[in-house]
Each structure stands twice: as structure tokens, then as C-alpha cells.
């Protein structure tokens, strides 16, 4: 019978035998899978696990600082690398969705490779791959592993990809990963986090990408997500976020006519991201959230709610 406890005992034992005194590098994404993988390896080999958490400048508001702090509190040997400027410089003015993904994949690999080189004599690359990642081409959970997979054939293998690979969650489904995490006393807030795409807010900014747009979208997204939490709706939703549209529309503020940006809010129910239904959020919630966004976020004068299901629409707009 599968239980989280027996899985943990068995896996930790196997990891110890397999890895011995070798050093392992792992990219943390802030998501559930890489975090649980790190905790298992930490149990098995402690400080010989070197975790790297990269800020690509496209995370949610305050996410990098908050999550890094949380990882440190969990006893992980983690290095936070703020590479925002490198990513945002490379993306400045870019509007094509696939080009954005390629740029982000390339810069991530460069940054991760630099960091892996700093770890003397590292032998293994650990990844938070779960069973659905093995059978699907696009990871629904995002994160470094998803980025690596789709770009590893560009310009020869970076050195860290020549390392031996260890994937302790490879046989598990998402709910099992969460149960394993819970059994290791990981924070329920971390385990219950919505999936977030590896390319982050870059694929939620339609049209050319600029730092100012990233900042605006972070503000809008934070209001939406915080409100979902305070209305106890966050856990009823599988994934939620805001999209900055390449549309200006006319509004009125006091006596002034405005011509400003429009954002779309998206919240979906799903089990695996392959199909999804839009969530019937209460009108009062939408009303309060829309007012708050328009009052607080300068540059936005219109909010719309996405009522499209997948298929035929996708969850993300790009």
C-alpha cells in the first residue's frame, strides 16, 4: 500500500545509497514539485544539496523575497540569484510569445549554468519532474525543469545538463506530491499554491514587453490573488492570474478623459490543466476587485473577466 510515510522512507534511503557523498544541484521554482523534491533530498544528503532559486523578474509581486525566505526557514541550502535585469533586458520590446519563451529558456540556462559552475565538483542535477511531466510535452506546473526540457537542444548542451539526473518524484501524481510534502510538515500555503508558468508574467503581457508593464501587472495580479485569499476563494480555484491586454480604451476620471490600459482576470477550475472551466466567481467579489484595481493601479482604467473554457481557449492567452 502506498503511503506518504513509506514513500519518504524508501526514497530517502534510495537517495542516500545512490548519491553517497556527491554534490547535487537543483533549481527551485517556488512551486510545489521542486520544493518537495528539495525537501526529500535535504533529508537524504543535507548540505550536499545546492539549491538555486532564480529571479527572472517575471514572478509575482514580492514572490522572490518571500519564497526565498521561506526556503531558508525550511533549512534548505539555497542561493537566491536575482537575474531580473538580465531577463528583462533580453526581453525588452519583444512581443512574440514563442520568442519570449525561447529568450527566457536561454537566459535561464545561462544563469543556471553559471551558478552550477560555482559548485565545486558537483555530480548530479536533481529535478522535480512528476509523472504527468513524463507523459506530457508541456509541464502544467512550469518551473525550471519545463524550461530546460524544451530548450536543451539549442546550441549544444550546457555543462549542467551533462550531469547525472536524479528525479525523486518521477512516479508521483500531483496530489501524491502534496501528500508527501504535508507528511514532511511543509507549509500548507506552499503546498496549496496555484501552478504558475515558467515564463511567468511575460506570457501574460500581450504586445511588446516592458519593465513598466511588468510592474503594472504585478500590482493588478497581487490585488486579485490577495482578494481571492481573503474571500476564501483561493483554494477553490485551480489557477488564477491577470493578463495585461494591448488595448487602450477611453475612461473618465473626475473631469478628465482617460485613455488607458485594460486588464483581463482569469480563474479556472481544472484537475490537470489539460481541460479547464472558468470559475463562477461571485459578482460582489468581481465588483470589489475591479474597483480596487482601477482605483489603486495607475494606468489601468478597465477590467474584464475571461469567461472562456479550455478547449477551445487555453488557460494562458499566449
Residues that bind ligand XMP (CB under 6 A): 101, 138-140, 142, 146, 195, 197-199, 239, 273, 310, 314-316
In the bound state with ligand XMP, the residue whose beta carbon lies nearer, of 266 and 302, is 266
- Quote the cell numbers at residue 305: 473577466
Considering the complex, what minimum distance in angstroms separates the CB of residue 76 from ligand XMP?
A: 22
30 is in an annotated binding site: yes
Considering the complex, what minimum distance in angstroms separates the CB of residue 149 from ligand XMP?
A: 9
Considering the complex, what minimum distance in angstroms separates the CB of residue 255 from ligand XMP?
A: 41
Q: Strand order of the sheet with strand 49-55?
A: 78-82, 49-55, 23-28, 122-126, 164-166
279 is in an annotated binding site: no
> Which residue in the shown chain puts its C-beta closest to ligand XMP?
142
- Quote the cell numbers at residue 229: 485569499
Considering the complex, what minimum distance in angstroms separates the CB of residue 153 from ligand XMP?
A: 16
159 is in an annotated binding site: no
In the bound state with ligand XMP, the residue whose beta carbon lies nearer, of 7 and 317, is 317
32 is in an annotated binding site: yes
155 is in an annotated binding site: no
Considering the complex, what minimum distance in angstroms separates the CB of residue 267 from ligand XMP?
A: 12
Residue in the block written with cell 474597483? 291
Residue 234 contacts residue 228 (beta carbons within 8 Å) = yes
Q: Which residues contact 302 (CB under 8 A, 6 or more apart)?
A: 249, 251, 260, 261, 262, 263, 294
Report how far residue 76's alpha carbon sits from residue 62's, in angstroms, rounded to the nearest whole number: 20
In the bound state with ligand XMP, the residue whose beta carbon lies nearer, of 31 and 181, is 31
57 is in an annotated binding site: no
Report how far residue 77's alpha carbon sits from residue 150's, in angstroms, rounded to the nearest whole number: 27
Report residue 288 CA to chain centroid gap. Answer: 27
Report how far residue 279's alpha carbon sits from residue 56's, in angstroms, rounded to the nearest whole number: 29
Considering the complex, what minimum distance in angstroms separates the CB of residue 90 from ligand XMP?
A: 16
Report how far residue 111's alpha carbon sits from residue 68's, in angstroms, rounded to the nearest whole number: 17
31: phi then psi, degrees, rounded to nearest 5:
-90, 175
75 is in an annotated binding site: no
Closest C-alpha to 191, from 176, 208, 204, 207: 176
In the bound state with ligand XMP, the residue whose beta carbon lies nearer, of 277 and 316, is 316
In the bound state with ligand XMP, the residue whose beta carbon lies nearer, of 44 and 243, is 243
In the bound state with ligand XMP, the residue whose beta carbon lies nearer, of 269 and 316, is 316
Query: What is the dihedral sign for C-alpha 176, 199, 24, 132?
Result: positive
Binding residue numbers for ATP: 29-35
Amino acid at each position: 500500500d502506498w503511503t506518504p510515510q513509506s514513500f519518504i522512507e524508501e526514497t530517502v534511503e534510495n537517495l542516500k545509497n545512490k548519491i553517497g557523498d556527491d554534490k547535487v544541484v537543483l533549481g527551485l521554482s517556488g512551486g510545489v514539485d521542486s520544493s518537495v523534491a528539495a525537501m526529500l533530498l535535504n533529508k537524504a544528503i543535507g548540505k550536499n544539496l545546492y539549491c538555486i532559486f532564480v529571479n527572472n523578474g517575471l514572478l509575482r509581486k514580492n514572490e522572490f523575497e518571500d519564497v526565498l525566505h521561506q526556503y531558508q526557514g525550511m533549512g534548505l541550502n539555497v542561493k537566491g540569484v536575482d537575474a531580473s535585469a538580465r531577463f528583462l533586458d533580453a526581453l525588452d520590446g519583444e512581443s512574440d510569445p514563442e520568442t519570449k519563451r525561447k529568450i527566457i529558456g536561454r537566459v535561464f540556462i545561462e544563469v543556471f549554468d553559471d551558478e552550477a559552475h560555482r559548485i565545486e565538483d558537483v555530480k548530479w542535477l536533481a529535478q522535480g519532474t512528476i509523472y504527468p511531466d513524463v507523459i506530457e510535452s508541456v509541464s502544467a506546473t512550469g518551473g525550471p525543469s519545463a524550461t530546460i526540457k524544451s530548450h536543451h537542444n539549442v546550441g549544444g548542451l550546457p555543462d549542467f545538463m551533462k550531469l547525472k539526473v536524479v528525479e525523486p518524484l518521477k512516479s508521483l501524481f500531483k496530489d501524491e506530491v502534496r501528500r508527501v510534502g504535508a507528511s514532511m510538515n511543509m507549509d500548507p500555503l506552499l503546498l496549496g499554491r496555484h501552478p504558475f508558468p515558467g515564463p511567468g508574467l511575460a506570457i501574460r503581457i500581450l504586445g511588446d514587453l516592458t519593465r513598466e508593464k511588468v510592474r503594472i501587472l504585478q500590482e493588478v495580479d497581487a490585488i486579485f490573488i490577495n482578494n481571492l485569499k481573503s474571500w476564501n476563494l483561493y483554494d477553490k480555484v485551480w489557477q488564477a492570474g491577470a493578463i495585461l491586454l494591448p488595448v487602450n480604451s477611453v475612461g473618465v476620471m473626475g473631469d478628465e478623459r482617460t485613455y488607458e490600459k485594460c486588464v483581463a482576470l482569469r480563474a479556472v477550475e481544472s484537475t490537470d490543466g489539460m481541460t479547464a472551466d472558468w470559475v463562477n466567481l461571485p459578482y460582489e467579489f468581481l465588483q470589489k476587485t475591479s474597483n480596487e484595481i482601477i482605483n489603486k493601479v495607475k494606468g489601468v482604467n478597465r477590467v474584464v473577466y475571461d469567461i472562456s473554457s479550455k478547449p477551445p481557449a487555453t488557460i494562458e492567452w499566449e
